[in-house]
Amino acid sequence: MQNEINLTQIRDEINSIDKELVKLLEKRFNLVLKVGEYKAVRNIPIFDEGREKIVIEKCKKHLDNKKYESYIERLYLQIMNTCKDIERDEIKIL
Ligand SMILES: O=C(O)C(=O)C[C@]1(C(=O)O)C=C[C@@H](O)C=C1
């Protein structure tokens, strides 16, 4: 059926975008770990509210369609929460 073929094609495209997203997220995680190490050796707190606001504002500006702004905001809060978890879990300064 035409509709099923179309669904498969769209899902293939989603799969390939997910592949790129995961690769980029992994790069982001690796960079965040470097920030975490920098902070750990200097005793700087992981959470930086001002930086998180800047990240969200910058990301919203990258959107072509402003109707997604609040979704990008929520998604980035979640991404940064996960990044903070990674910093807490992975960085062990003895
Ligand atoms: O830039 C930092 O200071 C980070 O630790 C990275 C990051 C982020 O994921 O972008 C994570 C936690 C902070 O609250 C702010 C930003």
Confidence check: pLDDT of 89 > 90: yes
- Alpha carbon of 4 to ligand 1 centroid (Å): 42
Q: At CB < 8 A and 24+ separation, what contacts does 41-44 make? A: 41/93
State whether the beta carbon of 55 lies less than 6 angstroms from ligand 1. yes
Confidence check: pLDDT of 2 > 80: no
Angle between helices 49-61 and 69-90 (to 10 degrees): 140
- Alpha carbon of 20 to ligand 1 centroid (Å): 22
ipTM more than 0.95?
A: yes
Domain interval for residue 53: 2-90
pLDDT tens per residue across span 21-61 = 999 999 999 999 999 999 999 999 999 999 999 999 999 99
State whether the beta carbon of 84 lies less than 6 angstroms from ligand 1. yes
At 37, which CATH number? 1.20.59.10
At 77 the pLDDT is 98
CB 87 within 8 A of CB 35: yes
Nearest CA residue ID for atom 3, ligand 1: 48
At 93 the pLDDT is 72
Annotate 24-93 with three-state secondary structure.
HHHHHHHHHHHHHHHHHHHCCCCCCHHHHHHHHHHHHHCCCCHHHHHHHHHHHHHHHHHHHHHHHHHCCC
Place of tokens 């707190």: 45
Confidence check: pLDDT of 15 > 90: yes
Please count the structural domains in the chain. 1
pLDDT tens per residue across span 68-85 = 999 999 999 999 999 999
